[in-house]
């Protein structure tokens, strides 16, 4: 038991202090476990792990679903084959800081935060850093305070999509653009964001605008106003047969800052557009030329997996051939690489808290809360897998 005096004196006792005092009531953790490839999530007890150096421990109030979550679940050996099972998936959490590890300077117990969990990353590979549980240890560099007025459900749509967009735009091995600022210096160069209504897309548009660039984008017509509301000057229908020509015409005389390709038709189309533009002929690619939605829609037998793998390889080779012939470079984005460089630190610790406070960066697309509790996460994965348009599937945990 905690000493009554401590309670009366309003002293905040953290879970690690409770452990030091030898008291047994360490918080109970539970997780939505993925016990093996292609299994459904099952909820059960999980270890409660103290944060390590440079980490904070979050009590998760909301989690959101990314395509990566269901891709790993159904993708067999094709995605994240390094994962050790049982594992805990989930990249996006929002909640309250309950413990801080050593050398953490930005956060204190009680802070309301949003964070990108990197437990599935190859060099981390641990369930304790996965999002789909009650308590997650996250890196200080991949977390940000959120405004008092913002709900956890609103904030939780951000992390992986924001990280992926930031990776593409700012990492030196990708587009290497100027970092976003609260007061941006206007530039004449144009960034092409293919797939502006996706979660990654709306974050890329907002970051690019805050870096001073102009943005031209693509989406389905019913999302044109949505995409424009984040600052894109022109939006084109990505399924229109002459969309590449339309973009080439719109970009005539402009200097291109590069492109981010989101959605399976994005990479080839962006290569074709940039081959006709002046400026940075570089495409940062988020989605391979055949999307994993193919697997979601087809029977997931071993034969289908092999067929998908063969298509993936052949379409990648074709993309490489097209890019070489067009003198356009491209590179795949890996959203969690942000954790290893100063871009992540800048975006999460310096830029985001103030950009959210000043409404320069709006968490988007809006959340669709589909359930409550860890037990609701499998259904949330199934809803996301069936396809979403300009919305993020969210589960409330508390």
Ligand X SMILES: NC(=O)c1ccc[n+]([C@@H]2O[C@H](COP(=O)([O-])OP(=O)(O)OC[C@H]3O[C@@H](n4cnc5c(N)ncnc54)[C@H](OP(=O)(O)O)[C@@H]3O)[C@@H](O)[C@H]2O)c1
- Binding residues (CB under 6 A) for ligand X: these are 66-68, 160-161, 164, 194-195, 197-200, 218-220, 223, 238, 262-266, 286-287, 291, 333-335, 388-390
State in angstroms the smallest separation of the CB of 18 from ligand X.
Answer: 37
Taking the least distance from each CB to ligand X, the nearer of 90 and 335 is 335
State in angstroms the smallest separation of the CB of 244 from ligand X.
Answer: 12
Question: Does residue 135 contact residue 127 with C-beta atoms inside 8 Å?
Answer: no
State in angstroms the smallest separation of the CB of 10 from ligand X.
Answer: 42
Cβ count near 103 (within 10 Å): 10
Sign of dihedral through CA atoms 129, 264, 156, 114?
Answer: positive
Between CA 347 and CA 159 the distance in angstroms is: 11
Token readout for 142 is: 């991949």
Between CA 153 and CA 392 the distance in angstroms is: 10
State in angstroms the smallest separation of the CB of 95 from ligand X.
Answer: 21
Taking the least distance from each CB to ligand X, the nearer of 95 and 335 is 335
Question: Does residue 167 contact residue 333 with C-beta atoms inside 8 Å?
Answer: yes
Q: Which residue is nearest to ligand X (CB)?
A: 263
Taking the least distance from each CB to ligand X, the nearer of 57 and 219 is 219
Between CA 227 and CA 236 the distance in angstroms is: 10
State in angstroms the smallest separation of the CB of 294 from ligand X.
Answer: 11
For the chain, how far is it from start to end, CA to CA, in angstroms?
24
Question: Does residue 160 contact residue 70 with C-beta atoms inside 8 Å?
Answer: no
Taking the least distance from each CB to ligand X, the nearer of 13 and 309 is 309
Within 13 Å and on the Cβ side, how many CA atoms surround 15? Answer: 21
State in angstroms the smallest separation of the CB of 277 from ligand X.
Answer: 19
Between CA 131 and CA 129 the distance in angstroms is: 7
């Amino acid at each position: 038991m905690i000493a009554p005096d401590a309670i009366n004196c309003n002293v905040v006792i953290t879970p690690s202090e409770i452990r030091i005092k030898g008291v047994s009531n360490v918080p109970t953790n539970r997780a939505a476990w993925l016990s093996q490839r292609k299994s459904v999530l099952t909820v059960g007890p999980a270890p409660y792990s103290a944060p390590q150096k440079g980490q904070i421990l979050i009590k998760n109030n909301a989690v959101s679903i990314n395509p990566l979550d269901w891709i790993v679940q159904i993708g067999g050996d094709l995605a994240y084959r390094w994962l050790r099972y049982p594992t805990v998936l989930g990249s996006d959490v929002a909640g309250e800081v309950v413990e801080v590890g050593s050398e953490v300077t930005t956060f204190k117990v009680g802070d309301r935060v949003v964070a990108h969990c990197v437990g599935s990353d190859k060099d981390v590979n641990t369930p304790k850093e996965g999002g789909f549980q009650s308590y997650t240890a996250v890196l200080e560099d991949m977390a940000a305070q959120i405004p008092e007025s913002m709900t956890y459900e609103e904030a939780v749509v951000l992390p992986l999509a924001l990280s992926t967009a930031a990776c593409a735009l700012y990492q030196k091995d990708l587009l290497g653009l100027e970092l976003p600022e609260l007061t941006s210096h206007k530039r004449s160069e144009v960034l092409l964001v293919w797939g502006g209504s996706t979660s990654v897309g709306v974050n890329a548009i907002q970051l690019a605008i805050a870096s001073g660039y102009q943005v031209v984008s693509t989406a389905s017509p019913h999302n044109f106003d949505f995409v424009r509301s984040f600052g894109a000057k022109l939006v084109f229908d990505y399924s229109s047969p002459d969309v590449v020509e339309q973009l080439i015409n719109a970009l005539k005389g402009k200097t291109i800052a590069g492109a981010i390709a989101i959605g399976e038709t994005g990479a080839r189309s962006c290569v074709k557009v940039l081959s006709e533009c002046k400026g940075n002929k570089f495409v940062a690619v988020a989605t391979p030329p055949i999307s994993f939605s193919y697997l979601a829609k087809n029977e997931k037998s071993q034969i289908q997996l092999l067929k998908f793998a063969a298509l993936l390889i052949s379409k990648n080779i074709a993309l490489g051939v097209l890019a070489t012939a067009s003198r356009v470079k491209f590179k795949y984005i890996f959203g969690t690489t942000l954790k290893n460089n100063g871009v992540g630190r800048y975006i999460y610790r310096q830029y985001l808290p103030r950009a959210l406070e000043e409404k320069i960066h709006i968490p988007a697309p809006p959340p669709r809360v589909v359930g409550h509790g860890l037990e609701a996460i499998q259904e949330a994965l199934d809803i996301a897998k069936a396809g979403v348009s300009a919305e993020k599937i969210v589960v409330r945990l508390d």
